[in-house]
Chains A and B, each alone.
Chain A
Amino acid sequence: MDIYLPVAEVSLDIFVLLGLGAAVGFLSGVFGVGGGFLLTPLLILIGVPPTVAVASSANQLVGASVSGVLAHWRRGHVDFKMGFTLLMGGIAGSIVGVWLFTLFARLGQVELVISLCYVVLLGVLGMLMGIESVRTILRQRRPGGARRRLHRHTWMHGLPLKTRFRKSQLYISALLPVGLGFVVGILSAVMGIGGGFVMVPAMIYTLGMPTSMVPGTSLLQIIFVAANVTILQAVTNHTVDAVLALLLLVGGVLGAQFGTRFGTRLRGEQLRFLLAVLVIAVAAKLARDLTLHPADLFVIPSDNRG
């Protein structure tokens, strides 16, 4: 059954959209990441204009992260102070990001920029995650391997504005989470993702937060950054399709619950290895599309069709 999406101005099968939301929700439940990095390219693949795909994914992300934060909050796994510090950078980043998005759209390059960002980011992260998970799996096979040192002093600990984050048991410069939030805010606006797959490793390895606090706190700031991106995209580019976002949410919410249950049966490093394979596959597909001779050398970007 086809449904006409009023802002995207295309007719798509409602069950394809619900199924897509459910599949991405399932994966995000299994792996504990937002899944936007899969959702946006898949939407583009089924015929949603890239600009609408990015903006509507951000809209969908708001709902998905609210649902996630509530689950973590009930277990006491949200560091509000850290979340709002990240958010200060995140809001600034998303404003810069939407401005960049509009600029690239005017230059006719927005589709290229979206694809390039995905290829680079997914490629690098997929590799890193793949290498790390394989190492962990190998290390477990020979017992007594080298352990990580608990605390290392680097240049980051010399930064000013030291702040105490009691819930995360950290005493670090506030500039670190603000900077991290800023970078993720830009990515969120340009790529339509929450940036969980950048945020989560950075919070664990760079900030040194306890692993249990990471997903809830990361999702908390994603709610507000994604909300900000949605409103900015709606005002500047008119590309938010609320009907599309709602359909994806309905599927996504159900998928995430099944995914979470399935995920608890697998081991962490095995999960990360599978995720790495998935991420690299998406990056490879996008890279191939960029380098392959296009079927049509001439294009009319969807944002000036009317």
Chain B
Amino acid sequence: MSGRRLGLALAGFLLLLPGPVRADGVTADLSSHLIAITTGFTGASVVLFGATDGPAEIIAVVRGPERDVTIWRKSKIAGIWANTEAVTFANVPSFYAVAASRPIDELMSPSAAALHRIGAGNLKFEARSDVAPDRLRRFSDALIGVQQRAGVFAAATGKIAFLGERLFRTTISFPANVPTGAYLVEVFLVRDKDVIGAQTTPLVVSKVGVDAAVFDFARRSSLAYGAIAVTMAVMAGWFASLPFRNT
């Protein structure tokens, strides 16, 4: 971890030149780096905690693994609502949430928030094909809206609480439909409306146990999985008829 922190400190240092040079003043960690999806999974939460080197504000951004997403717009054809237009966006985070010690607009300027991609409104998506700018904006706004209603983009900014001047903590909640994969939690140290330090810590969301086995099997050996699913159903049907053999 110290190597990673050193690297980040160095990156932050280079980024901030030729501004006032300061040490990268934030240390943070998660209560757990693995969210295990088991059979009884109904969502989970993880505690993010850490310390600053002095009075400051903190913003945390949680980002799920990125992938291509196609979003469709419905329109009415012959009285029926059908999917008619589509835009495919590249590298869309499958999960996105922000927490801050004060409202974002009080902490930093809109341009700084946009630079660090803080806030769902500052996410920039690139289309896979050529799309007119106004249409691109319409579809990417809609994408954020759909993901917020699905619960995978947090609609509200979470609250980071300070205990005294330097210790902070917050709880990051994940819904039952949380996408699986490798997540990144970025912690930004903010002073005088500017980001002056950052730390990134990984988080993995993964199916474990029976569910992981079933899912992997269904993907990797799909033919065998199908055959077993059928055999299982045949057995169940046969067992079910046994007690009623003589009626």
Contact = CB atoms under 8 A, between A and B. Distances in A.
Nearest to A293: B81
Given A67-B238, A299-B74, A304-B70, A62 B41 contact: no
Given A63-B236, A112-B80, A297-B73, 4 more contacts: A63-B237, A246-B236, A291-B79, A305-B69
Contact of B225 (A3, A227, A240, A246): A240
A230 B238 contact: no
Interface string A214-246: 000000000100010011111100101011011
Contacts of A3: 39-40
B39 A234 contact: no
Contact of A300 (B72, B210, B245): B72
Contact of B214 (A7, A67, A230, A290): A7
A291 B77 CA distance: 10
Interface stretch (B4-12, B143-151, B187-195): B143-151
A257 B239 CA distance: 13
Query: Which bucket holds chain B's interface residue count?
Result: 35 or more
Given A227-B230, A234-B222, A109 B41 contact: no
A298 interface: yes
Interface string A53-68: 0000001111111111
A230 B227 CA distance: 8
Interface residues of A, number: 59
Contacts of A145: none
B149 A296 contact: yes
Contact of B70 (A61, A63, A301): A301
A1 interface: yes
Interface in A272-306: 290-294, 296-301, 304-306
Contacts of B82: 109, 112
Contacts of B227: 231
Contacts of A297: 73-75, 142
A245 B233 CA distance: 8
A298 B222 contact: no
A175 interface: no
A201 B125 CA distance: 53
Nearest to A4: B41
A294 B81 contact: yes
Contacts of B72: 108, 298-301
Nearest to B88: A304
Interface of B: 37-42, 67-75, 79-83, 86, 94, 139, 142-143, 145-147, 149-150, 176-177, 179-180, 207, 210-212, 214-215, 218-219, 222-223, 225-230, 232-238, 240-241, 244-245
Contact of B230 (A7, A11, A59): A59
Interface of A: 1-4, 6-7, 9-11, 59-68, 70-71, 74, 108-109, 111-112, 116, 223, 227, 230-235, 238, 240, 242-243, 245-246, 249-250, 253, 257, 290-294, 296-301, 304-306
B229 A242 contact: yes
A306 B67 contact: yes
Nearest to B226: A234
B179 A10 contact: no
B241 A306 contact: no
Contacts of B210: 6
Contacts of A235: 222-223, 226
B214 A242 contact: yes
A270 to B, nearest CB: 24
Contact of B40 (A4, A231, A304): A4
Contacts of A70: 237-238, 241
A65 B176 CA distance: 34
A173 to B, nearest CB: 31
Contacts of A291: 79-81
A79 B234 CA distance: 20
B176 A300 contact: no
A108 B219 contact: no
